Amino acid sequence: MAGSSSVVSMSLAIVPAGGETITVTAPDGGESWAINSSQNITWNATFTITDVKIELQRTVAGAWETIIASTTNDGSYPWTVTGPTTSEATVKVSKVGDAGVYDTSDDIFSIVGGGGGPSNWPGIDDVVPNVISNDAAVVVAVIGSNFDSSVGVKLNTTIMHQVEWQDDHHLKFTVPARFPIGVYSLTVYDSYGRYGVWGSWVWVVSGPVENQLPPGIPKPVPVEPKPGEPAVPAQPINLYYAAQLVRQSPVCQSPCPATVQLTVGETITLLAEFKNTGTLPWYNFGKNPTRLGTSNPRDRLSVFKPLFGWVLKNRPANVTRAGYNAGGKQTVNPGETGRFTFKIKAPNKPGKYTEVFQTVVEFHQWMQSTVDWEITVVPKPAKIPAVKKPATSKPTGGQTLPMPNLPQGPAEFYDTTEGWLRAFTNFFSRLVGGLVSGIKR
């Protein structure tokens, strides 16, 4: 129909002709990471890879140490750097179940002690815009902390050459025209090799940005100016995932987290609700469902996982729409509330535990919002032995004992000896009587 338009959203996955691939993006060589500092190991991998293994080598051609045996292929893993120090470190990321699919850092990096340079690592709070058309060069503003005049910017592994430092919290960089279309991880780094990775993505598209928006995201429109004032341009488009905890069970009074007491082996159902405060919808289906994942450390195995019921070994539940019946394909749009409901089972070891879960969009992004429970596991109550009844005492005066249930005797008592004696007496009497009668004749 003339004058009408529609937007069609399509998802297309292309696997390289060479099969599955992994590319380590950080550390990629030249970094200097301090022991006990928190760093993000990052990589790019084909979506068909579900889990990856991360290893560390401290000397060239040395032994590999396992950092984590299995973590979700979401492109990032937080690592608290461990000693000893080395200037020849390398990281390897490989596919779980097929060690032949892997990649390592392109060059060695350093692990240093606490004196290895300033301790203020750069961080990123926001990037505007994060959806960029490559039809022309685009200036991108980065807001963060601990920026200095030597700061650099990378999109994945590509270094941005047009960077303008403004102050400790602001910088700008230019994405040149015809930059390759794709989804990029943005990194800010300084001269010490310290860096910060943004928790969301930068989209580079072709053509007008508003034509790339997923369903439910409004197109930017310029603000109508007041008379005599210049027009206000439309706000840049930002696509990102974000969540805010609004409720959990049992309801906790400030300060949270909620406290729970369980008996060894006991199973209960927990609930957590998060508001979608981002600009992208959450789904409980497809390649990138929104789930609750174990955290602190991320992707750990929880001792509270029951035998059945969780989505994965480290994913208790998929998101559903709060206020709607569970089941089927569901979408939680920006501004709506998503719910996670799942069971936990108390382990066999009594004690105090802290369980932390975090919202995650699989293979895309871990959101910052978490939910915590303080759980106390107590032993099962001891079994009380049965009390034996006291023995029956002998009756005292006035009591009547019950008659025993004895077998009944015959109606007439008959003794065999007495029977023979009676027979002999009768025979003898007849014999004597006969003799007497013969004599009388």
Q: What SS3 class is residue 423?
A: helix
- What phi and psi values does residue 85 have, to the nearest 5 degrees? -70, 155
Q: What SS3 class is residue 402?
A: coil
How many other CB atoms are found less than 10 A from the CB of residue 205?
17
120 has which bridge partners? none
183, 130 Cβ separation under 8 angstroms: no
Q: What is the pLDDT of residues 265-308, one digit of tens each?
A: 999 999 999 999 988 899 999 988 999 999 888 888 899 999 99
Between residues 221 and 351, which one has the greater pLDDT?
351
CA atoms within 13 A on the CB side of 85: 7
| Arithmetic mean of pLDDT, 337-356 | 94
Between residues 387 and 143, which one has the greater pLDDT?
143
Q: What is the largest CA-CA distance in the chain?
A: 181
Which whole-number Å values give the CA distances from 86 to 27, 32, 89, 110, in the listed order? 14, 10, 6, 6
pLDDT higher than 90, residue 172: yes
**223/330 Cα distance (integer angstroms):** 34
| Strand positions, DSSP E, 209-289 | 243-248, 258-263, 267-276, 282-283
Looking at residue 144, what is its pLDDT?
85
Between residues 90 and 425, which one has the greater pLDDT?
90
Between residues 315 and 218, which one has the greater pLDDT?
315
| Residue bearing tokens 């592994």 | 157
Looking at residue 19, what is its pLDDT?
80
pLDDT higher than 70, residue 250: yes
Above pLDDT 90, what percent of the chain?
38
Looking at residue 159, what is its pLDDT?
93
**195/30 Cα distance (integer angstroms):** 12
Between residues 103 and 326, which one has the greater pLDDT?
103
**204/127 Cα distance (integer angstroms):** 13
Question: Which segment, 81-90, 220-229, 248-257, 395-404, is predicted with the most confidence on average?
Answer: 81-90
Q: What is the pLDDT of residues 398-417, one digit of tens each?
A: 554 454 454 444 444 445 55
**310/317 Cα distance (integer angstroms):** 6
Domains of the chain listed by start with CATH number: 14-117 (2.60.40.10), 120-213 (2.60.40.10), 243-378 (2.60.40.10)
pLDDT higher than 80, residue 334: yes
Which whole-number Å values give the CA distances from 195 to 69, 119, 154, 223, 401, in the listed order? 25, 11, 10, 37, 96
Which of 243-252, 262-271, 424-433 is the least confident region?
424-433
Looking at residue 327, what is its pLDDT?
81
Q: What is the pLDDT of residues 130-168, one digit of tens each?
A: 889 999 999 999 988 889 888 999 999 899 999 999 998
Between residues 7 and 160, which one has the greater pLDDT?
160
Looking at residue 215, what is its pLDDT?
62
How many other CB atoms are found less than 10 A from the CB of residue 267?
13
**253/247 Cα distance (integer angstroms):** 11
Looking at residue 220, what is its pLDDT?
62
Question: CB within 8 A of 248, min separation 6: which ones?
Answer: 256, 257, 258, 270, 271, 272, 273, 371, 373
